[in-house]
Amino acid sequence: MDDSKLFGSANWIMMLGIVGALIAAQWKHEVIPAAALAVILVMTIAKIRLIVLDFMDLRGMRPNLARALMIWPIFFSALSLSKVVLATLL
Amino acid sequence: MAAISTSEERDEGGDLLLWVLVWGELAAFGILLTGYVVMSMLHPENFALAKLHLAPRLAGFNTVVLLASSWQAALAASSQGKPRRQRLFLLGAAFLGFLFVALKFAEYSSEWTAAGDENLQTFFELYFLITGFHLAHVAFVATLFVLAAIRLERSTIVTLTTIWHVIDIVWLVMFPLIYLS
């Protein structure tokens, strides 16, 4: 992958990272609302997708491997969100 | 059967080994994180109380540090045939990795006192185990980046950068799971 494309991806990843950190920082000693956590988790998945496709250089190269790598974070993000949703509902 | 394997065969072997290592890491962290989730469901009050002693702001900043380090590693991997640039990016990735370690130790120093509380012990045992295991990976691979910058070799750089991205992915999942949810 050439440097300009890598730079573009890195920009997105850093921006998502900074915004995610800023959202998380709004609730220091309180329980974070499920909606805010959902936003952070969606951004986490987006970051990981860019890392897998562009940083690991798997875009268009090994689609099955890239998909398999994405399952791991999606599973734990879903677990994380369902834990908070269940705690809110129960 | 050929007595001597070709370089292509060796590459495929190395590639397989790399992905075995990657999935091994993901499986190990997966087991630890699952254990954490199960325990947090068994002791929800204690875990919620213990989380008040964590520093999500510092951890959020550390996420950005690790992402920047991952970018440096990706640049190093894509700079084949440019040794000066490659060294610079590898050292940049290593520096940011060590910065992550330093910030994590600063975070630990404020959390250490709360870990002695009997009610919070289960949380902190798991917290130090999971984040400490991750931290050991960061420190180890950052050191290997410095060594790789001294002796540039394509396969080593590809292996290290791939492992680095996996360590990054693990942290990205760990951060909301442990600090926020």
Summarize pLDDT for B73-105 with one digit per residue, the tens: 999 999 888 899 999 999 999 999 999 999 999
Cβ contact, residue pair B180, A32, below 8 Å: yes
Most confident of A35-39, B9-13, B127-131: B127-131
Q: Does B63 reach chain A within 8 Å, measured CB to CB?
A: yes
Phi-psi region of A52 (alpha: psi -120 to 50; beta: other; left: phi over 0): alpha
CA distance B36 to chain A (A): 11
Contact B14, B158 (CB under 8 A): no
Contact partners, residue A11, CB within 8 Å, separation at least 6: none
The confidence score (pLDDT) of residue B115 equals 82
Residue of A nearest to B45 (CA): A87
Per cent of chain A over pLDDT 90 is: 48
As given in the structure block, the two tokens for residue A24 are: 């998380």
Out of B37, B56, B74, whose CB is closest to A6? Answer: B74
Please report, for residues B75, B83, B116, B143, B171, the alpha-carbon distance to residue A5 in angstroms, rounded to integers and kept in the order given. 11, 21, 48, 28, 24
CA distance B51 to B179: 7
The confidence score (pLDDT) of residue B1 equals 40
Q: Does B68 reach chain A within 8 Å, measured CB to CB?
A: yes
Contact B39, B144 (CB under 8 A): no
Residue bearing the bigger pLDDT, B36 or A27: B36
Contact partners, residue B1, CB within 8 Å, separation at least 6: none
The answer on pLDDT for B9 being more than 60 is no
Closest CA to B69 of B104, B36, B34: B104
As given in the structure block, the two tokens for residue B15 are: 């590639």
Residue of A nearest to B164 (CA): A56
Contact A1, B78 (CB under 8 A): yes
Angle, in degrees to the nearest 10, between helices A3-25 and A34-50: 160
